[in-house]
Amino acid sequence: MSDFKNLTIGILALQGDYECHKNQLDLLGAKSSYVRLPKHLANIDALIIPGGESTTISKLIDRFGLREPLVDFGESKPIWGTCAGMILLSNEIEANQANVKPLQLLDIDIARTAFGRQVFSFETELILNLNGKEVKSEASFIRAPRIKRISKGVNILATYENEAVLVEKDNIMASSFHTELENDTTLLKFFLENYLVDILNK
């Protein structure tokens, strides 16, 4: 198992289930740091944008002056967005009446809550294609977004009923679902080992 003790992973902690991500980072022995202001981005190796309410998170990003710093961070360092985090990383949001402003760091288009409202939330086992191997992982879909368009350069790492639900390009990864609600650290471990390999090999 990789030693993650030299990593410091930021978690955008404006709203949402950020504490669950901290708990998983603790399980793997990685340090975590809550990001609420631009200065908090300075000493982290990667960032997780958690699930939550994308409208609220988008407004708070602007209120705390984080929009440009987050875009700058994502142009060179790894970011993983889960659920609402995927929405915020996307290029465009379909039927965006709430006026959520995406960061446009990943060339996909999204429909919010397209897997159904809270009452239709569900858990399932997904097959993830990680480093050329098929790996099983538990996934929770809670008011989850659907990907409506994917650019040619974006890689699909998992599907659910023939729809892409886990995608990545370069240093950015996004999932429609949550894995942080339980103790299954499969996807987090993949994120750390593949996107922060240079730090781990020092």
pLDDT tens track, the chain, 202 positions:
578 999 999 999 999 889 999 999 999 999 999 999 999 999 999 999 999 999 999 999 999 999 999 999 999 999 999 999 999 999 999 988 888 999 999 999 999 875 656 545 788 899 999 999 999 998 989 888 999 999 999 999 999 999 999 999 999 999 999 888 878 899 999 999 999 987 777 6
- Which pLDDT value is given to residue 114? 58
- Which pLDDT value is given to residue 119? 47
pTM over 0.75: yes
Q: Which one is catalytic: 168, 180, 182, 193?
A: 180
Show the DSSP H helices in the chain as ranges.
18-28, 54-63, 67-74, 84-89, 186-195, 197-200
Question: Is there a contact between 124 and 141 (Cβ–Cβ < 8 Å)?
Answer: yes
- Which pLDDT value is given to residue 118? 57
Question: Is there a contact between 142 and 83 (Cβ–Cβ < 8 Å)?
Answer: yes
Q: Which one is catalytic: 20, 21, 40, 83?
A: 83
Look up 53 and say whether it is catalytic: no
Angstrom distance (rounded) from CA 51 to CA 17:
6
Q: Which one is catalytic: 75, 178, 182, 193?
A: 178
CATH superfamily of 8-200: Class I glutamine amidotransferase (GATase) domain (3.40.50.880)
Look up 178 and say whether it is catalytic: yes
**145 SS3 class:** coil
Task: Name the residue among 35, 85, 73, 91 with its Cα closest to residue 171.
Answer: 73
- Which pLDDT value is given to residue 121? 74
Residue spans per domain, the chain: 8-200
Look up 21 and say whether it is catalytic: no
